[in-house]
Amino acid sequence: MTMYRPRRLRQGPIIRDLVAETRIDTNKLIMPYFVDEGGPARQPIDAMPGIDRVSLEELLMDVERDAALGVRSALLFGIPSARDEKATGAWAGDGIVQKAVRALRKNFPELLVITDVCLCEYTSHGHCGVVKDGKVLNDPTLDLLADTALSHARAGADMVAPSDMMDGRVAAIREVLDENGYTDTPIMSYAAKYASAFYGPFREAAGSAPQFGDRKTYQMDSRNAREAEKEVLLDIDEGADIVMVKPALAYLDIITRVRELTTLPVCAYNVSGEYSMVKAAAKAGYGDEAALVKEILTGIFRAGADMVISYHTRDVLAKGWW
């Protein structure tokens, strides 16, 4: 007797493409940039080959080149020349991010400009909020975050992305944006942001490592998944338009849960340490970079992300890795 069984549909590349459920869509990638107010024109970040801290002039050159490759969305981080207790550089009208947003807006009207809203790059102690007696204070931080978001919107940001993880910051930002007429500026909230060792290279890049303690009192515990659902639902209640899971690779289950939890778009952040690992492995000859990057990004999309912030974006486009 003949046993009939379905074919596996892997006979060749064309049929494999036909049945593939997921693909990397380069329109869904967001490229991060570090703009440095007081540093040299270009300073490579040791742990992140290919990613530099750059002056405003160099940023415009990088973005011009990247836009020609097909980068359509940018996430902007600032490194101020001075840091203080009140994170003045974060919300100053002439802060480095505000200047950069205005310049990008003017030179690249088509580019979607997203700004990271946080205080840690701007505070003298490196924490994401106001500190008193060695403690990060949630509520006094909210006004500063709202001021920061407003200053970004005024400069022309298309979207603001609060990454601090203070409670109530999405509501605080929404209220201030609305009061000032920025009712159409969406908020992409870093909703489920874990306290992660994978942020190490970023903190080197941004000079934002906390000077005492850690971020475990405000960022999430990697052992918790239900708590991520709670954080996401809170942010949605407060008015988030896109919710983010961060990091991505050790949290693919969280991406899937959040995807199932909400109808809102879900963003995943393929963070600095995840990028560094791939670069280090490729450099050591332990893996093929193109194949690793493709597999990683595909996995993040397959888990349920609608969009991915990734430092690999430029390489993916420049080298046709999709």
What is the contact surface with ligand PBG in residues (CB under 6 A)? 116, 118, 120, 128, 163-164, 199, 202-203, 215, 271-272
> Cα separation of 202 and 164, whole Å?
14
Contact between 105 and 156 under an 8 Å Cβ cutoff? The reply is yes
Q: Report the relative pairing of strands 135-137 and 130-132 from DSSP bridges.
A: antiparallel
The separation between CA 282 and the C-alpha centre of its own chain, rounded to angstroms, equals: 23
CB of 46 to ligand PBG, least distance (A): 14
CB of 90 to ligand PBG, least distance (A): 11
Q: Which of 195, 262, 207 is nearest to 45 (CA)?
A: 207
Catalytic member of 246, 283, 294, 319: 246
84 bridge partner residues: 123
CB of 149 to ligand PBG, least distance (A): 14
Q: Which of 33, 119, 13, 66 is nearest to 314 (CA)?
A: 66
**Dihedral of alpha carbons 293, 295, 298, 299, sign:** negative
- Cβ proximity to ligand PBG: between 23 and 209 the closer is 209
CB of 145 to ligand PBG, least distance (A): 11
CB of 256 to ligand PBG, least distance (A): 21
**Dihedral of alpha carbons 47, 48, 50, 55, sign:** negative
Contact between 316 and 297 under an 8 Å Cβ cutoff? The reply is yes
Tokens coding 137:
């204070």
Active site residue 193: yes
- Cβ proximity to ligand PBG: between 5 and 270 the closer is 270
- Cβ proximity to ligand PBG: between 62 and 164 the closer is 164
Catalytic member of 193, 230, 279, 294: 193
H or E element in which residue 34 lies: strand 29-36
> Cα separation of 138 and 273, whole Å?
27
Between the two ends of the chain, the Cα-to-Cα distance in Å is: 44
- Cβ proximity to ligand PBG: between 182 and 202 the closer is 202
CB of 133 to ligand PBG, least distance (A): 22
- Cβ proximity to ligand PBG: between 177 and 309 the closer is 309
Tokens coding 58:
């160099």
Residues 6 or more apart from 225 whose CB is under 8 A from it?
A: 253, 254, 257
- Cβ proximity to ligand PBG: between 246 and 259 the closer is 246
Number of C-alpha atoms within 13 angstroms, CB side, residue 299?
15
The residues carrying an active-site annotation are 193, 246
